[in-house]
Amino acid sequence: MSLFIICPRMAGMVNIIAKNSQVSLVYTALLGTLFSIPLVIAMVLIFAKLGIWGALSFCVLTDLGAALLMKEISLKAGMETLVIAVFVIVGVKVAPYITNLFVK
Q: What pLDDT tens digit does each residue of the chain (104 aa) get? A: 566 777 777 787 777 777 777 888 898 889 888 988 999 999 999 999 999 889 888 988 887 777 777 666 667 766 777 787 788 778 888 989 999 999 87
What's the pTM value of the predicted model, to 2 decimals? Answer: 0.65
Residues 22-53 as b/e (b if ≥16 CB within 10 A, e otherwise) read eeeeeebbeeeeeeeeeeeeebeebbeeeeee
